[in-house]
Structure 1
Amino acid sequence: MTMKVRLSRTQPTLCVSLDHEPLWFSLTHPTTLNLTQNPNSLSLSLCKKKKKKNLLCCYVAVRKMGWGWWIQRQCSRWASSHSFRRILVLTLMVWGGTWGAEAAQGRGNRGSGCDLFRGSWVADQSYPLYNSSTCPFVEREFACLRNGRPDLAFAKYRWQPLGAGGCSLSRFNGRVFLERMRGKTIMFVGDSLSRNQWQSLTCMLHSAAPDAKYNITRQGDVSTFAFTDYGVKVMLDLNVFLVDVVREPVGRVLKLDSIQGGKLWMGIDMLIFNTWHWWNRRGPSQPWDYIQEGKQIYKDMDRMVAFEKALTTWAGWVEANIDPAKSKVFFQGISPSHYNGTLWGEPSAKSCLGQKQPVPGSTYPGGLPPAVAVLKGVLSKIKKPVVLLDITNLSLLRKDGHPSIYGLGGRTAMDCSHWCLAGVPDTWNEILYNLIL
């Protein structure tokens, strides 16, 4: 872990840069900073002297995890700072500012054994985070209630991560998110599951700031939702393979080693990529006629092999074009389908139709889709920081969350791949929120 601490005399902030990834903390007036570090973790304690001679001390622990940085914050009052100085290595006096309420929230309660992506679903009547019937951005494909779904129970579940000490996610706060991303651009890149997550986030933000001015523009496969009051853009680039499909004299060619579409992604502050569901399309719904790698053209090949080759091309683009100091990169994990009840212990179920409850517990009986191992294998080889939103297991448990007959195609096109909104993609975005704050 490479660590640098930078203090600003003009701004009441502290920047801790961990392997080129900046973490910002607001400071108090006056503030005592204590710091310790080792190759994989960093601890900070910050104390503010109160008027009644007691101290408000906040402890910040940062630890390097497989999916990114795990951060824990805890504040309490102390009669003195002696017990708080056990980890003292460096003390600095910094003047100016107040402890930001925005900085003090958003991390949740994450103990040392907390895993955001392992856990179970618990009923919570305070959910969903927004009313989908009043969100103007939900398309018919995901508008299950508007399409006649009679139950709302599927929207009243909260994700509870596993871990000791009350491991939990912080509830999404749209205004905090907008302030954190002020002046920045977010882009989802991928297939209709990316559109699912994109529409979820736009509804979550609009619900939190309903009076904020916004506009939506569409140009080709790119849609832009802009909060003009905050200078925040949330974009969607529908690019189902990430690599290129090109029309040539022989027909439509899927080029596994070409990624010209990446020109659109340059300079974006936060990128969330996704691809998988279209790789097994065959027949009339297959959007290509040939596959090309280098100069070799194939009529077809093992789809998992093709998927891995395309991901490797995308990984090469990340290595060549991403500056970690300017852009954060995430990959939305494999979003699962539910067409085979045997996989969740209900052999008589041939689809997700009529499912009203999640799979109990934290483990999906049918195991993970093979594409997960391929994706993780490619990501493990990337040197640039890419965070996997490992949403596969938590989504596998939600056999009840799909549109089924309450989607775009109605009873003629069973949909157990996409997700109702409000619903499961909101949790994907809550996890994203917890990771970036």
Structure 2
Amino acid sequence: MEGKKILFVGDSISLNMWQSLLCMVHAAVPQSNYALKSVGNHSIFSLPEFRISLEYSHNVYLVDMVKEDIGVVLKLDSIVNGNYSWKGYDVLIFNSWHWWVHTSKGKNQPWEFIESNGKIYEDMDRLMAFKEALTTWSKWIDSNVDPLTCQVLFQGISPVHYDGREWNRSVSTTCKEEKTPLNGTTYPGGLPAAVGIVKQLLKSMVKPVSLLDITTLSQLRKDGHPSVYYGESGNDCSHWCLAGPPDAWNEILFALLSN
């Protein structure tokens, strides 16, 4: 990674992975004179002596979200924000899905309307919306990225463990009761539908994008969420403990960047 300027773009799952990478890098060079700063939704961890910059940009949908007279509009076919925040990096690592399933307006759904092909909707099928937004993102990558100077990766769909039926337990079972991973190499509940959309879209792109395929290995880690440490106050079966699955994701990332 020496001499690299790397940017993670995505939601709190991207933040999970970025934080894991920072811990791993710092553990490798504990005496390094690192710098860490945050401005708005952008955070930068740098190691000047190694010319390394590891950055995180909080962007949950990738496409534009704009406040207009009618309210906040999620624009599935617009990605102007990429023009001023994603350029000039050696490595771009994108992620999106976690927020597409939130349906309660307010904190969990920050937009009020969706714009698709010039038309305004109060809502639409979220899988279709995700596919349209990711198609817009893929067109931006194809038009703006030079693969000779910038390597692009898409962080695969990160699973949740709220329904025990997915690993042959009861519907009331969540990750909070789980303290051991699943054995084997397959997950009884199968892959999320969003995985197929991501894989199909990446294959159709002109510019090369590597898939950081973390879904199945993370599904097996039903024990890897922070809920077990929350006591009675919370049940987070979406995010991940450090060290844990995000460390494995970063091992894969390092292998992909080393090729």
Q: TM-score range by the shorter chain?
A: over 0.9
Q: Which has the higher helix share?
A: 2
| CA apart distance, 1:350 | 2.2
- State the match for 1:418 in structure 2: 239
Aligned partners of 1:433 and 1:203: how far apart in 2? 14
Q: Which has the higher strand share?
A: 1
Q: Is 1:428 the counterpart of 2:249 in the alignment?
A: yes
Q: Is 1:273 the counterpart of 2:94 in the alignment?
A: yes
- State the match for 1:206 in structure 2: 26
**Greater RCO structure (CA 8 Å; 6+ sep):** 2
- State the match for 1:375 in structure 2: 198
Q: Is 1:393 the counterpart of 2:253 in the alignment?
A: no
- State the match for 1:298 in structure 2: 121
8 Å contact kept, 2:11–2:95:
yes
Aligned partners of 1:291 and 1:377: how far apart in 2? 24
For 2:255, the aligned partner's letter is: N
8 Å contact kept, 1:405–1:411:
no
| CA apart distance, 1:412 | 3.2
Runs of 4+ in 1 over 4 A off after TM superposition: none
Q: Highest CA radius of gyration, 1 or 2?
A: 1
Aligned partners of 1:349 and 1:248: how far apart in 2? 41
Matches for 1:332-347 after TM superposition, within 5 Å: 332-347=155-170
- Give secondary structure in 2 for the equivalent of 1:380: helix
Match of 1:231 among 48, 51, 71: 51
- Give secondary structure in 1 for the equivalent of 2:37: strand
8 Å contact kept, 2:95–2:155:
yes
TM norm structure 2: 0.96
Aligned residues: 255
Matches for 1:15-34 after TM superposition, within 5 Å: none
Aligned partners of 1:348 and 1:381: how far apart in 2? 37
Any stretches of 5+ residues in structure 1 without a counterpart?
Answer: 1-180
Aligned partners of 2:127 and 2:254: how far apart in 1? 31
Question: RMSD of the TM alignment (CA)?
Answer: 1.1
8 Å contact kept, 2:177–2:228:
no
Measured against aligned partners, the alpha-carbon deviations of 1:198-246 in whole angstroms (never above 9, x if no partner) come to 0000000000000011111111100000011111000000000000111
| CA apart distance, 1:405 | 4.7
| CA apart distance, 1:429 | 0.3
For 2:94, the aligned partner's letter is: F
Aligned partners of 1:420 and 1:370: how far apart in 2? 24
Percent identity over the alignment? 53
Match of 1:358 among 181, 187, 195: 181
Aligned partners of 1:327 and 1:252: how far apart in 2? 32
- State the match for 1:141 in structure 2: none
| CA apart distance, 1:406 | 2.6
- State the match for 1:329 in structure 2: 152
